[in-house]
């Protein structure tokens, strides 16, 4: 049984995950409604406009929580919550391959769901900016994104996302998929932040608050890689030796 | 597939759950495992299937260590009492998912077997709507559709309706008779083991304390009998040279089914009425089961 087969079956499972697909569709519907409302803000009276803005802010955080925690946690914990890992392992699934196939499948599923949820608001905003005559400015802004300085930032963002998933997966494996994993996830994140700050103070001679805020991309990327390696190792060791 | 076990040990804290020095499971044979609750049967099966990994000693499948090369487990089918499937998904999804992990899903075979055990009409229902027995049937189906070489079944009949038990027993008899298939089964129902197994391991406090050979040569059937006329029955047994022991309440006799059929007409001729008769399990005779 190879990792590709496990990956394929993970996606097969996610595509039939009825309740979460429904939740995604509901969020998509709300995103579309909020986008339409905000685009047509000049047709709304003041109270409706305030309501729309409040709802849009709530929706923004809902999307953030759904994509950042709830959905990946669900995907990572579903096997533990249903207590099916025993049957999977007894069917010949290799625990190492399962770990990496699952991480890969969760990343892909999250990208697809993010695209589905965000495509309408993002495309509408771009279109609206263009309509308001801001295309030139927009392209200038987008051009800025392409400058070499932005590349490390993008790499750092991707690494940060993957590191977050590894921390979440480690938490899920340690407490065997219990909801407590989310608290452990926040705990691990705090720990990482503390250790990172400490290391940062050791290696930065002219350390200042503004420098910390702007961040050193290379240092951050190295930290994210270390986080991925450390938490990946802990998670793998735990999963390998776990009685199911 | 030969399974070799050496110095297998597993503890839960200070409690020694498994302590097996040496055991070999030969291909093409059927083995039973009996023991009281907590004797170590399920722990043993979980070690075999890599569900428990922190055991000491070695389990080797045809030269492969499942802790390192667990692809060997794709050749096994397993039914444990506490195995579970995805509850929010349909039964069909679960079968397809676990078959897919092994790389082969035969829809015709699945539907035929599902039909035979009464699951076909509910294949597209979410498993969370299933009763315990139906979930057990589903786990059974997942184990059986994968053309396994070795079946490991822990109390497989518990919770199943009688028709399914009969179907399953017949299936196992047919399955074990071909292609060097190996069966390892535990059950508290002694007749299940007697009808399916050639060898029975008796396990107690994690140790194999006895190995019973249930092959035809050793297979004796005892009956406890009480009659309305003990004197005449004793004379009849003596004249037929049937070994017996007189007990406080009647007779304990060692007799095959064929011989019993010969004796039966003579009972009527001698006006002997059997008032009670119980067949004694082979495992019970050997003190096999607690």
Cβ-based neighbour number of residue A208 at 10 Å: 9
Based on the fold, state whether residues A128 and A151 are members of the same structural domain: no
Q: 């190295």: which residue's tokens?
A: A222
- Domain total of chain A: 2
Based on the fold, state whether residues A153 and A233 are members of the same structural domain: yes
Task: Give the closest of A82, A91, A244 to B73, CB-based.
Answer: A91
CB contacts of B143 in chain A (<8 Å) are none
User: Which of these three, A133, A164, A195, is where a domain ends?
Assistant: A133
Contact B101 A86 (CB under 8 A): no
CB contacts of B97 in chain A (<8 Å) are 9, 12-13
Q: Tell me how far CA of residue B48 lies from CA of B21, B58, B201, in angstroms.
A: 15, 10, 15
* Dihedral (CA of A28, A31, A35, A41) sign: positive
The answer to whether residues B150 and B99 touch, using CB atoms and an 8 Å cutoff, is no
Give A134's contacts (C-beta < 8 A, 6+ positions apart): none
The answer to whether residues B48 and B75 touch, using CB atoms and an 8 Å cutoff, is no
Based on the fold, state whether residues A119 and A202 are members of the same structural domain: no
Contact of A16 with chain B, judged by CB distance below 8 Å, is answered with: yes
The token pair at B258 is 């064929």
The rounded distance, in Å, linking the Cα atoms of B81 and B131 is: 14
Structural domain includes residue A142:
no
Residue B203: which H helix or E strand, with range?
strand B199-204
Compute φ and ψ for B214, nearest 5 degrees.
-105, 20
Does position A46 have pLDDT exceeding 90, yes or no? no
Based on the fold, state whether residues A77 and A191 are members of the same structural domain: no
The answer to whether residues B72 and B150 touch, using CB atoms and an 8 Å cutoff, is no
The per-residue pLDDT of chain A, averaged, comes to 85
The answer to whether residues B79 and B156 touch, using CB atoms and an 8 Å cutoff, is yes
Q: Please tell me the number of Cα atoms within 13 Å of B57 on its side-chain side.
A: 20
Exposure string for A6-40, b = 16+ CB within 10 A, e = fewer: bbbbbbebbeebeebeebbeebbebbeebbebbee
Angle between helices A71-81 and A95-131 (to 10 degrees): 160
Residue A54: which H helix or E strand, with range?
helix A46-65
Cβ-based neighbour number of residue B260 at 10 Å: 14
Residue B220 is predicted with a pLDDT of 57
Residue B290 is predicted with a pLDDT of 42
Q: Tell me how far CA of residue A98 lies from CA of A8, A184, A240, B34, B65, in angstroms.
A: 11, 22, 10, 34, 18
Structural domain includes residue A234:
yes
Contact of A97 with chain B, judged by CB distance below 8 Å, is answered with: no
Contact A91 B72 (CB under 8 A): no
The rounded distance, in Å, linking the Cα atoms of B93 and B89 is: 6
Compute φ and ψ for A27, nearest 5 degrees.
-60, -40
Residues of chain B under the 70 pLDDT cut: 216-221, 257-258, 279-290
Based on the fold, state whether residues A18 and A117 are members of the same structural domain: yes
Residue B288 is predicted with a pLDDT of 46
User: Which of these three, A83, A108, A133, is where a domain ends?
Assistant: A133
Residue B146 is predicted with a pLDDT of 82
Structural domain includes residue A27:
yes
The tens digit of pLDDT for each residue in A57-97 reads: 999 999 999 998 999 999 999 999 999 999 999 888 889 99
Give B214's contacts (C-beta < 8 A, 6+ positions apart): B32, B193, B194, B197, B198, B199, B200, B282
The answer to whether residues A168 and A77 touch, using CB atoms and an 8 Å cutoff, is no
Least confident of A175-179, A209-213, B104-108: A209-213
Residue B137: which H helix or E strand, with range?
helix B132-144
Cβ-based neighbour number of residue B259 at 10 Å: 15
Domain boundaries, position A235: 147-244
Helices (H), B49-131: 91-101, 107-116
Number of cross-chain residue pairs from A and B with Cβ atoms under 8 Å apart: 95
Residue A202 is predicted with a pLDDT of 77
The answer to whether residues A172 and A181 touch, using CB atoms and an 8 Å cutoff, is yes
The tens digit of pLDDT for each residue in A115-172 reads: 999 888 888 887 877 777 666 666 666 666 566 667 777 788 888 889 999 999 999 9
Structural domain includes residue A100:
yes
Based on the fold, state whether residues A80 and A12 are members of the same structural domain: yes
Based on the fold, state whether residues A81 and A53 are members of the same structural domain: yes
Q: Average the pLDDT over A93-113 and give the result.
A: 92
Identify the three-state secondary structure at position B241.
coil
Contact of B43 with chain A, judged by CB distance below 8 Å, is answered with: no
Q: Tell me how far CA of residue A241 lies from CA of B39, B47, B109, in angstroms.
A: 23, 12, 35
The rounded distance, in Å, linking the Cα atoms of B100 and B108 is: 15
User: Which of these three, A69, A104, A133, is where a domain ends?
Assistant: A133
Name the pLDDT band for A107 (thresholds 50, 70, 90).
very high
Structural domain includes residue A140:
no
The answer to whether residues B74 and A91 touch, using CB atoms and an 8 Å cutoff, is yes
- How are beta strands B30-34 and B199-204 bridged, if at all? parallel
The token pair at A53 is 């803005």
CB contacts of A19 in chain B (<8 Å) are 88
Residue B191 is predicted with a pLDDT of 75
Q: If contacts are CB pairs under 8 Å, which of residues 124-163 in chain B contact chain A?
A: 139, 142, 146
Domains of chain B: 3-215 (3.40.50.300), 220-285 (3.30.70.80)
As for the ipTM of the complex, it is 0.81
Based on the fold, state whether residues A79 and A18 are members of the same structural domain: yes
Structural domain includes residue A85:
yes
Based on the fold, state whether residues A4 and A123 are members of the same structural domain: yes
DSSP code, position B166: H
Residue B283 is predicted with a pLDDT of 64
Structural domain includes residue A9:
yes
Nearest Cα neighbor of B1 from B23, B24, B26 is: B26
Residue B282: which H helix or E strand, with range?
helix B282-285
Based on the fold, state whether residues A90 and A206 are members of the same structural domain: no
Based on the fold, state whether residues A32 and A56 are members of the same structural domain: yes
Based on the fold, state whether residues A112 and A223 are members of the same structural domain: no
Contact of A89 with chain B, judged by CB distance below 8 Å, is answered with: yes
The answer to whether residues A6 and A92 touch, using CB atoms and an 8 Å cutoff, is no
Residue A79 is predicted with a pLDDT of 93
The rounded distance, in Å, linking the Cα atoms of B88 and B130 is: 11
Structural domain includes residue A178:
yes
CB contacts of B101 in chain A (<8 Å) are 1, 5-6, 9, 88, 91-93
């Amino acid at each position: 049984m190879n990792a590709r087969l496990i990956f394929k079956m993970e996606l097969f499972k996610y595509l039939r995950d009825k309740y979460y697909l429904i939740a995604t569709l509901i969020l998509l519907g709300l995103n579309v409604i909020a986008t339409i409302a905000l685009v047509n803000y000049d047709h709304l009276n003041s109270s409706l406009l305030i309501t729309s803005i409040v709802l849009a802010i709530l929706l923004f955080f809902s999307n953030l929580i759904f994509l950042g925690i709830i959905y990946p946690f669900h995907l990572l914990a579903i096997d533990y919550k249903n207590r099916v890992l025993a049957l999977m392992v007894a069917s010949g699934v290799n625990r190492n391959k399962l770990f990496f196939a699952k991480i890969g499948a969760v990343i892909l599923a999250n990208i697809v769901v993010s695209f589905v949820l965000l495509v309408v608001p993002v495309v509408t905003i771009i279109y609206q900016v263009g309509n308001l005559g801001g295309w030139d400015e927009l392209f200038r802004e987008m051009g800025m994104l392409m400058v070499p300085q932005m590349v490390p930032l993008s790499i750092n963002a991707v690494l940060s996302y993957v590191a977050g998933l590894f921390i979440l997966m480690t938490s899920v494996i340690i407490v065997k998929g219990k909801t407590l994993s989310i608290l452990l996830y926040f705990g691990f994140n705090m720990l990482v932040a503390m250790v990172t700050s400490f290391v940062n103070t050791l290696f930065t001679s002219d350390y200042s608050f503004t420098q910390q805020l702007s961040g050193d991309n290379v240092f951050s990327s190295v930290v994210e890689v270390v986080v991925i390696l450390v938490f990946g190792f802990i998670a793998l060791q735990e999963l390998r030796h776990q009685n199911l | 597939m030969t399974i070799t076990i050496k110095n297998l040990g597993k503890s839960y804290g200070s409690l020694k759950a498994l302590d097996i020095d040496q055991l070999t499971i030969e291909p093409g044979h059927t083995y039973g495992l009996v023991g009281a609750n907590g004797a170590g049967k399920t722990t043993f099966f979980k070690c075999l299937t890599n569900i428990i990994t922190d055991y000491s000693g070695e389990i080797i499948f045809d030269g492969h260590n499942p802790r390192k090369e667990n692809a060997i487990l794709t050749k096994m089918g397993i039914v444990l009492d506490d195995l579970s499937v995805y509850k929010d998904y349909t039964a069909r999804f679960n079968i397809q998912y676990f078959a897919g992990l092994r790389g082969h899903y035969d829809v015709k075979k699945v539907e035929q077997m599902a039909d035979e055990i009464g699951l076909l009409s509910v294949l597209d229902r979410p498993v969370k709507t299933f009763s315990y027995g139906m979930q057990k049937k589903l786990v059974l189906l997942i184990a059986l559709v994968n053309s396994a070489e070795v079946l490991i079944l822990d109390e497989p009949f518990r919770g199943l309706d009688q028709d399914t038990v009969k179907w399953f027993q017949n299936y196992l008899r047919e399955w074990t008779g071909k292609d060097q298939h190996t069966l390892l089964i535990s059950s508290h129902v002694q007749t299940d083991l007697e009808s399916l197994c050639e060898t029975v391991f008796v396990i107690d406090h994690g140790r194999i304390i006895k190995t019973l050979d249930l092959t035809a040569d050793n297979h004796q059937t005892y009956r406890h009998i009480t009659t309305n006329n003990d004197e005449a029955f004793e004379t009849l047994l003596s004249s037929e040279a049937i070994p017996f022991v007189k007990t406080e309440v009647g007779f304990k006799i060692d007799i095959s089914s064929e011989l019993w059929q010969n004796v039966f007409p003579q009972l009527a001729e001698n006006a002997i009425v059997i008032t009670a008769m119980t067949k004694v399990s082979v495992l019970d005779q050997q003190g096999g089961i607690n």
